[in-house]
Amino acid sequence: MKRVLIVKTSSMGDVLHTLPALTDAINAYPDIRFDWAVEEGFAQIPSWHQAVDTVIPVAIRRWRKNWFSAPIRAERAQFRQAIQAHHYDAVIDAQGLLKSAFLVTRYAKGTKHGYSRQCAREPLASFFYNVHHDVSKKMHAVERIRQLFALSLDYPIPQSQGDYGIAQHFLSLPSFDEHPYLVFLHATTRDEKHWPESHWRELIALLADSGLRIKLPWGAEHEHQRAIRLAKDFNYVDVLPKMSLADVAQVIAGAKRVVSVDTGLSHLTAALDKPNITLFGPTDPGLIGGYGKAQMSVKAEGGDIGEIKPQQIFDLLDI
């Protein structure tokens, strides 16, 4: 049985983009098992895939705020002990960053695979790998990682579309709401990625006679306040309570359709095989857009996401 360590720590979209490679690998080697080093905030995600045995949380984002304090030193030592608990048949660094290579990959036991100097996001990361693989940067992130895994584990690169392998996990759970509903993913990290609140409210108004409820998830308090503003005076819009990532995934899995901005949850929607319309302003969906079944990207031609009109999205929803 092959035992492999994956180093893919963040972000949410990047972690999700790794899942189809695991499905490829388990199809090639049915007895293969994976451990996965991942940022603590995304540690739920790998556990949803059947090929993952152990999730090893790492907290580089939090640790670097107080790197030399006694509690953080203790956590770092505990992490190194966990990552060195096994000698792996292969260690695959799919992050391609110096920080992940230096702070995570170099401690692992086993032959270390990663992108070549020409192909890594940060060329110096390749110094910490034993085996270097040339994988073009000019392809979707999912396909890049699929190629890296196939080259690292020596199986033919599949020609079929990648399968995230997690949708069935959520389909087996109880339905979140028996009434049909849409999910609007309105929150993202960068201001220029936000669709104007007036546009969201206009789209919500257009759906008044659809017979569908609309669910608004949120994470931080400012996102909660935005959700409250979007829902005001619409009795068919539900502002959800604060939820774990797994709970949000269950909500998305039960949706009829999703409308989203460019955010990690839009990639989660793709991973769950839910129809999704993702709105893009300044970012290019070509290499990082929704990958999967029924994923549609709407790009503002001038780069201003406000150019995308609510009526256009309503028509694409085809409710």
CATH 3.40.50.2000 domain residues, the chain: 3-165, 168-317
The residue to which tokens 């007895």 are assigned = 31
Q: For position 219, what pLDDT does the model report? A: 95
Q: Which CATH superfamily is domain 3-165 in?
A: Glycogen Phosphorylase B; (3.40.50.2000)
| Residue written as token pair 């990959």 | 105
Q: What is the pTM of this model?
A: 0.94
* Close Cβ partners of 132 (under 8 Å, ≥ 6 residues apart): 114, 115, 116, 117, 126
- Residues paired with residue 184 on neighbouring β-strands, in sequence order: 259
pLDDT at 177: 82
The single residue listed with the structure tokens 């993702």 is: 278
How far apart (Å, rounded) are the C-alpha atoms in residues 188 and 107? Answer: 34
* CATH code of the domain made up of 168-317: 3.40.50.2000
Q: What is the pLDDT of residue 218?
A: 98
CA pair distance 138, 157, nearest whole angstrom = 17
Contact 167, 271 (CB under 8 A): yes
| Dist CA 145 CA 92 (whole Å) | 10
**Range list of H helices, 84-163:** 98-103, 141-153
Residues contacting 70, CB < 8 A, separation 6+: none
For residue 286, what pLDDT is reported? Answer: 81
Q: How far is CA 198 from CA 128, 162, 230, 306, 310, in A?
A: 49, 36, 8, 10, 9
Q: Which residues of the chain, if any, have pLDDT below 70?
A: none
